Structure 1
């Protein structure tokens, strides 16, 4: 495969993964804080993925503390973007993770994708 096709494939995988991650955040936010804005969820997923990556790069290597700080930074993004507090942010994140896991499982079973999504950590 040529380098340009690899780059296009990577962009497509990133975009689809981001949309799936945003779907999880959208569903979590809808259930927890009654906010229904998919575009807002896409932006939240993108910011969350960037923060997750940056904090993970610089602090993720620290045993026990690093992963906790990475998760806390992601929760801070969700807390900043949605109404409520830290408990609501944690609930949105948990529901996002579960819903993305279900979507990815179904897509993997039918052979469309693997088990990863941009914007929802650990999935």
Structure 2
């Protein structure tokens, strides 16, 4: 892949993650979550997910669960509420992200596997 393609995939992924987390926070916490805060949460969450994937992602089933707990932990750290609220925000964010990725694929902008969501 070229540097331009990787950069574009990163930007689109960050935008999708930002929109998804923003939607999750607004729906679950019912507060006016800022775009900057959602973007920073998406970026930190992606970095934590990647680090957890590197260290424990190879462990069958447990690795994926630990990666998910780490990602929800970032949401818990960045937004008010407890672990249940963070899990709900994460679930809504996942649904919104899948929908956005599907819409991007339908209009031919990106294939789902190009931005890290396989099997959509």
**Could you give the per-residue CA deviations for residues 16-64 of structure 1, whole angstroms, max 9, x where no partner exists?**
1111111000000011112321111110000000000001101111122
Mapped to 2, the partners of 1:61 and 1:79 lie a distance apart of 25
Cα offsets for 1:74-101 (capped at 9, x unmatched): 0100000000001110110000010111
Tell me: higher relative CO, structure 1 or 2? Use CA pairs within 8 A at least 6 residues apart. 1
Q: Which one of the candidate residues 19, 26, 34 is aligned to 2:22?
A: 26
Q: Which runs of 4+ in 1 moved over 4 A?
A: none
Partners of 2:84 and 2:24 in 1: CA distance:
12
- Corresponding residue for residue 72 of structure 2: 75
Distance 2:44 2:69 in 1: 14
Unaligned runs of 5+ in 2: none
Q: Provide TM-score, normalisation by structure 1.
A: 0.87
| Of 107, 111, 114, the match for 1:110 | 107
RMSD of aligned Cα (Å): 1.9
Kindly tell me the number of residue pairs found equivalent between the two proteins: 117
1:11 aligns with 2:7: yes
Partner of 2:84: 87
Unpaired segments ≥5 residues, structure 1: none
